[in-house]
Amino acid sequence: MFSGVKPSGNPHVGNFFGAFTRWAELQQPGHFYCVVDLHAMTVPHDPAELREQTVDLASWLLASGLDPDTVTLFVQSQVREHSELAWILDCVATMGELQRMVQFKEKAAGQRDSVSVGLFNYPVLQAADIILYQADEVPVGEDQRQHIELSRDIAHRFNHRFGDTFRLPTATLPTSGARVMDLQHPDQKMSKSEESPQGTIDLADDADTTRKKLMRAVTDSGSEIRASADKPGIGNLLELLSAATGRTIPELEDEFAGKGYGDFKKAVAEAVIERLAPVRARYAELRADPAAVHAELGKGADRAREIAAATMADVREKVGLFGAE
Ligand code: TYM
């Protein structure tokens, strides 16, 4: 299993329920989790901030329950094989398939001539991340599904051209929280960009801020608490409550039948706050000891490098690079 998260912007409850908490639940030796700092360079960034956000995000992953003695937790740029394989895969991926990536289309909308080449071939680096470790399964939120399908296509094409080398990865999604929506614009996914602070619950928010944001979340007309296409606001809150409590949406619909939006929102707020309380407390401890986090990331990179180097030796030989036969 391999998955990654990008250190740009503030991590939020979408990342937590869509990814981090599930990674912690599923964790086993042989799983790889990565803070993908090279991916954070695809849009203009501040160097000092990138370094800071990388350690910060690793602290959130540890606080969410990833155990560095069980899994390999590391920072992408510390394992140079990611960049090396990305170039080789750049020569296997096609312009056409990258142009179809929804995330690129959204992020480059109206400014294609000025965005970086890195933003365009971002999914190729992502494919390299995954197949370098021969991952079968990639636990992600819904928004990454298309990128994982592309990774599979690229791996398949490489195998076809150069002989069996990579396992073909598949995306797996959580049963709830796969697509947490913005609280103010429930037709858009919650995201790390800073455009909608009131619609986004950052992991770093305190309990009070979390409660306020959830109590002010946009709801829908009508008064029924049920998940349906015409009720994106209520549906999103049900999804959050389900993710925070582990209860199913039908169970929650039954429990809140006949109750008002106010009581329902209060219940969602308290459940989210309760779920995040130990994570936020552990994060504060870890931030007080960044040297310990650095040490864990160093050990993780050493382990990751061993696997990555073995894969790359095979790849170099297969594609005919000098000195690799
Ligand atoms: P990133 O950093 O945007 O998101 C990290 C994880 O959080 C999930 N996620 C969400 N889940 C539910 N609701 C949301 N609103 C929400 N927003 C984000 C994402 O699906 C993801 O699982 N390109 C990736 C990082 C990456 C990667 C990889 C992932 C690089 N290499 C290899 C998997 C495998 C990204 O930007 O995720």
- Per the annotation, binding residues for L-tryptophan are 129
- Read off φ and ψ for residue 161, nearest 5 degrees: -80, -40
Separation between Cα atoms, residue 201 and residue 14, nearest integer Å? 8
Residue in this structure with the two tokens 């503030």, named with its chain if needed? 10
233 lines ligand 1 (CB under 6 A): no
Binding site membership for ATP: which residues? 6-8, 14-15, 141-143, 180, 189-193
189 lines ligand 1 (CB under 6 A): yes
CA distance 15 to 189: 11
Task: Return the residue matching tokens 């069980």.
Answer: 70
Question: In the chain, what percentage of residues exceed pLDDT 90?
Answer: 95
Q: How far is the CA of 25 from the centre of ligand 1 (A)?
A: 17
d(CA 133, CA 138): 11
For each of the domains in the chain, give its residue range(s) and CATH number, in order of start. 2-173+289-319 (3.40.50.620), 207-285 (1.10.240.10)
DSSP state of 166: -
> Residue 48: which of 60, 58, 59, 40 has the closest Cα?
40
- Looking at 72-203, list the stretches that DSSP marks H as alpha helix, in order from N- to C-terminal side: 81-90, 95-99, 102-107, 117-132, 145-162
Contact status, residue 107 vs residue 115, Cβ threshold 8 Å? yes
Please give the pLDDT value at position 193: 72
pLDDT (mean) for 99-115: 92
Question: Which residues are catalytically annotated?
Answer: 107, 189, 192
Please tell me the predicted confidence (pLDDT) of residue 19.
98
Q: Which two tokens stand for residue 43?
A: 């849009």
Query: How far, CA to CA in Å, does 93 sit from each of 36, 74, 122, 144, 151?
Result: 20, 26, 11, 18, 9
User: Predicted confidence band at 194 (pLDDT cuts at 50, 70, 90)?
Assistant: confident
Task: Assess whether the C-beta atom of 273 lies below 6 angstroms from ligand 1.
Answer: no
Residue 175 in this model has a pLDDT that exceeds 80: yes
Judged by DSSP in three states, 72 sits in strand
- Cβ of 18 closer than 6 Å to ligand 1, yes or no, is yes
pLDDT band at residue 239 using 50, 70 and 90 as cut-offs: very high
- The per-residue pLDDT for 297 is 98
User: Which value does ipTM take for this structure?
Assistant: 0.99
What is the tens place of the pLDDT at every residue in 7-47?
999 999 999 999 999 999 999 999 999 999 999 999 999 99
53-91 confidence digits (pLDDT tens) = 999 999 999 999 999 999 999 999 999 999 999 999 999
Cα 224 to ligand 1 centre (Å): 32
**CA 107 to chain CA centroid, nearest Å:** 17
Share of the chain above pLDDT 70, in %: 100
